[in-house]
């Protein structure tokens, strides 16, 4: 009898308010600090940048792929990739990083080395936007 009373007292000291004689405690019996809701999960992953892609054919059959996103352009040609930002232009779209310059107007453009006097070496000229063939309507 004393042994049972001792076991009951020991059990109540070790697990106060959490287990009631072999039964799981109800939420009202659990201290309030344990009832706080878990923080909701957050998505800290950035979505991928969605670039608009334009393929061009230039003089001599050289191919250029131009990717545009907001005020940034990527120009890929002849094994080189130029990442350049949009700059002010009186006419057309001008992108430059101080070393290379892509200037496009309408469906045409060119890639040039940038020089302080504006007369840098032409890298690719006569670029025209490749348009998909007209698909006949059903």
Furthest-apart CA atoms within the chain: distance in Å? 105
Phi, psi (rounded to 5 degrees) for 117: -85, 0
Taking the C-alpha atoms of residue 102 and residue 120, their distance in angstroms, rounded to an integer, is 12
Is domain 52-129 classified as CATH 3.40.640.10? no
The model's pLDDT over 8-56, given as tens digits with 9 standing for 90+, comes to 444 444 444 444 444 454 555 555 555 556 666 676 777 788 999 999 9
The model's pLDDT over 61-96, given as tens digits with 9 standing for 90+, comes to 999 999 999 999 999 998 999 999 999 888 889 999
CB 123 within 8 A of CB 113: yes
Output the pLDDT for position 104: 92
- Bridge partners of 19? 24
Start-to-end CA distance of the chain, whole Å, equals: 94
CB 59 within 8 A of CB 125: yes
CB 64 within 8 A of CB 75: yes
Domain regions of the chain by residue span: 2-30, 52-129
């Amino acid at each position: 009898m004393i042994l049972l009373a001792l076991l009951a007292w020991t059990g109540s000291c070790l697990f106060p308010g959490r287990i009631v004689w072999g039964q799981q405690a109800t939420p009202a019996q659990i201290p309030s600090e344990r009832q706080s809701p878990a923080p909701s999960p957050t998505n800290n992953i950035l979505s991928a940048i969605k670039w608009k892609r334009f393929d061009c054919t230039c003089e001599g059959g050289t191919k250029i792929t131009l990717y545009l996103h907001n005020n940034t352009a990527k120009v890929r040609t002849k094994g080189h990739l130029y990442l350049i930002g949009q700059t002010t232009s009186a006419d057309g779209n001008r992108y430059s990083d101080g070393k290379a310059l892509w200037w496009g107007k309408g469906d045409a453009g060119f890639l040039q080395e940038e020089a302080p006097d504006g007369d840098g070496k032409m890298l690719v000229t006569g670029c025209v936007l490749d348009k998909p063939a007209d698909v006949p309507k059903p």
